Structure 1
Amino acid sequence: MSDATHPVPHPGEPHPANGTGSRLNRLRAGVLGANDGIVSTAGVVVGVAATSTSIPVVATAGGAALLAGALSMAAGEYVSVSTQRDTERALLATERRELAEMPEAELDELTDIYAAKGLTPELAREVAVQLTRRDALAAHADAELHLDPDALTSPWEAAVASVVSFTVGGLLPMAAVLLAPAGLRIPLTFVAVVLALVLTGWGSARLGSAPTRRATVRTVLGGAIAMGVTYAIGSLLDVDV
Structure 2
Amino acid sequence: MALPTFDEEELLQLLAEFVKLESRFILNSPGYSLYLQPAIIGTSAFRGVHRPSSALLYVIANHTGEFGDKKLGANYAPCIVPQQEAALRGFQQNLRLFGKEDYITEVGTMNLFIAIRDGKNNKELLTAPLDGTILNGVTRSSVLELSRERLVPKGWVVSERKYTMSEFAQAAQRGQLIEVFGTGTAAVICPVRTISYKGMLVDCGLSIGEEAGEITCQMRRWIEDIQYCNIEHEWGYLA
Measured against the shorter chain, the TM-score band is under 0.3
Return the TM-score normalized by structure 1.
Answer: 0.22
Hey, which of these two has a bigger chunk of helix by percent?
1
Q: Which has the higher strand share?
A: 2
Where relative contact order (Cα < 8 A, 6+ residues apart) is larger, the structure is: 1
